[in-house]
Amino acid sequence: MDFRIAVDNVFQKYATFTGRASRSEFWYFTLFQFVIYCLFGIFGSILTDGNGNPPGWFNLIVGLYGLVTFLPVIAVSVRRLHDTGRGGGWFFINFVPVIGSIWFIVLCVLPTEPRPNRFGPIPE
């Protein structure tokens, strides 16, 4: 799966918490999010006023982007956990300080279950 297809797939399944997401789909979308937020950071630092604060309209755009992508981020994370054979509840491990985020990354790096599981067929 290439980058564009993976990102398109996540947005097409905007709030779909059922099924499975391959490693490439999850990590390409994570890379996409990382690049977008890096660009926001760069533009925010360029647009700062004398006190180092970006303009309010820029903060509004960043906030709106965060709201728009909130559900797809959670949905693709849950589908990625399904792909490893785990329930979506494992997403909440992220709320355990420090170790929870590390454990979530480990779970997302695990390979796809090589056969259909209770969450659906093997993703393409």
Tell me the per-residue pLDDT of 3-57, one tens digit each, with 9 for 90 and over. 999 999 999 999 999 999 999 999 999 999 999 999 999 999 999 988 889 999 9
Tell me the per-residue pLDDT of 54-104, one tens digit each, with 9 for 90 and over. 999 999 999 999 999 999 999 999 999 999 999 999 999 999 999 999 999
Contact partners, residue 86, CB within 8 Å, separation at least 6 = 107
Q: Would residue 116 count as lying in a domain?
A: no
Q: What is the CA radius of gyration of the chain?
A: 17
Q: Would residue 114 count as lying in a domain?
A: no
Q: Would residue 96 count as lying in a domain?
A: yes
How many domains in the chain?
A: 1
Both tokens of 50, joined, read 């004398």
Q: Would residue 33 count as lying in a domain?
A: yes
At residue 116, the pLDDT reads 93
Q: Would residue 63 count as lying in a domain?
A: yes
Predicted TM-score (pTM) of the model is 0.91
Q: Would residue 123 count as lying in a domain?
A: no
Range of the domain at 52: 3-109
DSSP 40: H
Q: Would residue 46 count as lying in a domain?
A: yes
